[in-house]
Chains A and B, each alone.
Chain A
Amino acid sequence: MTLISDHAFRIFLSATTAGVGGLWIIHELVLIARLRGADRRDPQVRDQWFGYAVGILIGVIGIVGTLRFNGVL
């Protein structure tokens, strides 16, 4: 029992994952840019840097996974 064809489902998964991954990277880069000039010795600021870096990594994993899914990598 399916909702859409397998091909359309594959496209939906790829577009959603790569799209969200790309937007996630841009979002985190904007947040990191806003932290410029902040005191890096402040533990709160370091937490934010770490969190945003993790966000970028997750976005990259999403895009790499999509490329693997489609046989590009």
Chain B
Amino acid sequence: MVSTTAGSASSSSSSSSPNASNASNPSGAPAAAAPRRVVSPFNPANAVTASRFLTLPFLWWAVDRGYHQYATLFILICALFDKLDGFVARVFDCKSVFGEMFDAIADGVCFGFGLIVVAAYGWAPLVPVICIVGLGVINTVMRFVYVARAGRTVNYKSYAMERIVAFTAYQIGFATGGMEVRFFFWSFVPIMIAIVLHDAKRMLIDPIPPAGAKS
């Protein structure tokens, strides 16, 4: 399985040589369809993303033993690796559609797991965690509906949801650190509801921009 750079959703051009771009264009005119460089899914950025999963057993262990500081450390490492993979992808020039998807999946798995663990051990209030996870599932379903409405592979870029997902990592940190847990978790819920309602209108009701439009 391969992915291509520059946000291409297709990997059908994988037969082209990476160095073939513009090689047979003596007129100097821009190539009509320059072949894109093939990026293997086994690249440094995806390795960093995958390594985030390694923190989860240690997080569980620390919460199970009641080691608040270690649990905070492991969720901090997981969140830092989330930032690091994008940086590595830029440095090694290995951005790919697969990498973006893998990163989103890793976010969902790691932060979802973290929320459930801290709630299961009574480190976070259960009701807000259920609301947060439930709203996350609703948002995911709406994204599938959006793709079905568009009839093509398309991602709805939600600036607000990006921010609330980043804040989710902090929520787990507040729970492991025992820092104003009830305040932070309960203040999170109305913001998440507002964002899901906003995004629901954009994804389910508003017209979908045509393919190629800035999203």
Quote the shortest CB–CB distance from A46 to chain B (angstroms): 9
Name A24's closest neighbour in chain B (CB-CB): B163
Quote the shortest CB–CB distance from A17 to chain B (angstroms): 7
> Does B191 lie at the interface of the complex (its beta carbon under 8 Å from any beta carbon of A)?
yes
Q: How many residues of A contact B (CB 8 A)?
A: 26
Q: How many residues of B contact A (CB 8 A)?
A: 33
In the complex, which residues of chain B have a beta carbon less than 8 angstroms from the beta carbon of A47?
A: 157-160, 202
> Does A3 lie at the interface of the complex (its beta carbon under 8 Å from any beta carbon of B)?
yes
Q: Are B177 and A9 closer than 8 Å at their CB atoms?
A: yes
Q: Are A52 and B159 closer than 8 Å at their CB atoms?
A: yes
**Chain B residues touching A, majority SS:** helix
In the complex, which residues of chain A have a beta carbon less than 8 angstroms from the beta carbon of B152?
A: none
Name B192's closest neighbour in chain A (CB-CB): A54
In the complex, which residues of chain B have a beta carbon less than 8 angstroms from the beta carbon of A43?
A: 202, 206
Bound-state CA distance A50–B160 (Å) is: 6
Bound-state CA distance A5–B212 (Å) is: 54
Name A5's closest neighbour in chain B (CB-CB): B69
In the complex, which residues of chain A have a beta carbon less than 8 angstroms from the beta carbon of B206?
A: 43
> Does B90 lie at the interface of the complex (its beta carbon under 8 Å from any beta carbon of A)?
no
> Contacts A2-B69, A69-B180 given; 18 further ones with Cβ under 8 A?
A1-B67, A1-B70, A3-B70, A3-B73, A17-B170, A43-B202, A44-B215, A50-B159, A51-B158, A51-B161, A51-B163, A54-B163, A54-B164, A54-B195, A55-B163, A58-B191, A64-B183, A65-B187
Q: Enumerate chain A interface residues (CB-CB to B < 8 A).
A: 1-4, 9, 13, 17, 20, 43-44, 47-48, 50-52, 54-55, 57-58, 61-62, 64-66, 68-69
